[in-house]
Structure 1
Amino acid sequence: MTQVIPDDFWQGVAQFNSGDYYTCHDTLEALWMDATEPQKTFYQGILQIAVGLYHLSNRNWRGAVILLGEGTNKLGYYQPDYAEVNVEKLIAESRELLAALQAAGAENVGEFAESIKDTGTYLSDGQSLIVPKIAKIV
């Protein structure tokens, strides 16, 4: 069954992809609060990833780790895609970031956050990985 997704969702996606995680949270939270299942949990998973990335930008390692984990877990049901979103890709990128962030440790969150802010990428075991983005399915 095809889900009808409101225009505000795509506005939130654009905010997420541009790194404006706080505004994305506000946009998607309004949708989440009024949604019913299955959209409600879908919105919540994306919201949690956005908030995790927001926490990371504020050097809140614990908040970033918790929310990235919770968000990716909630989105697992929606794989490989849902509502024109490549959920599988978003989960994979978010889990790569989560693993790298956990490996870096709380004591290195500042350096980690600066790397992402300045380049949109981060290094994990010498490999450059991108910050998660929400991609539409083709």
Structure 2
Amino acid sequence: MSGDYPYEYYQFFIKFNEGDYYTCHDLLEDMWMEDKGNLFLKGLLQMSVALYHYSYGNLKGTRIMMKVAHEYLREYRPEHWGLDLEQVIGFIEQCLSAIPDGIDKVPYSEISSLPALPPLFLYLND
């Protein structure tokens, strides 16, 4: 598929690059609900949920969702729907390495003590 994507997919890129992962979840979930067999969308959805979880200190949820996203998205490498999945997979792996082990939850008041996750800016290649 080249260049003719659902409107929500384009909006996902904008919101992801703005760091609005909650909205990313909503955009992708609407698309996924119409095609529940689409594991590419589900992988991006899980990655967005993971980043949202990290933003409020839910490390266990972050780990689980990142691992699931990795599992789903690796099947679509190297590129799918104009997205460089090698870059995305590398990002997920870096995030999994950065998340502190042995901690499931961090109080909101201590979130600033968590290591920053690596940056990722998503772009359509077509």
TM-score (norm 2): 0.84
- Structure 2: which amino acid aligns with 1:137? N
Q: 1:85 to 1:106 in 2, by over 3 A?
A: same
Q: Structure 1 counterpart of 2:99, which letter?
A: L
> Alignment partner for residue 101 of structure 1, among 99, 102, 113?
99
Deviations 1:5-35 (A, max 9, x none): 2121110121112110001101110000002
Report the alpha carbon displacement of residue 72 of structure 1 after superposing the two structures with TM. 1.2
Quickly say closer, same or farther: Cα 1:107–1:82, change in 2 above 3 A: closer
Q: Percent identity over the alignment?
A: 31
1:43 lines up with 2:41 in the alignment: yes
Q: Which runs of 5+ in 2 are unaligned?
A: none
Structure 1 gaps, min length 5: 117-121, 123-129
1:60 is aligned to 2:48: no
Larger relative CO (CA 8 A, sep 6+): 1 or 2?
Answer: 2
- 1:137 counterpart = 2:107: no
Higher helix share: 1
Equivalent pair of 2:60/2:105 in contact (CA under 8 Å): no
Equivalent residue number for residue 32 of structure 2: 32
Aligned to 1:125: none
Aligned CA-pair RMSD: 2.1
Give the conservation status (yes or no) of the 8 Å contact 2:82–2:125: yes
Q: Distance in 2 between matches of 1:136 and 1:53?
A: 20
- Deviation of 1:53 after TM superposition, in Å, equals 0.3
Do the aligned partners of 1:97 and 1:131 also contact (CA within 8 Å) in 2? Answer: no
Q: TM-score, normalised by structure 1?
A: 0.77
- Tell me the matched-pair count: 120
Listed as ranges, the matches of 1:104-123 within 5 Å are 105-106=102-103, 110=111, 111-112=113-114, 116=116, 122=117
Displacement of 1:99 after TM fit? 1.2
1:94-120 deviation line (CA, Å, top 9, x unaligned): 1111111145x42795312xx53xxxx
Equivalent residue, structure 2, for 1:8: 8
> For residues 120 and 92 of structure 2, what CA distance do their matches in structure 1 show?
6
Q: How far did residue 135 of structure 1 move? A: 3.0
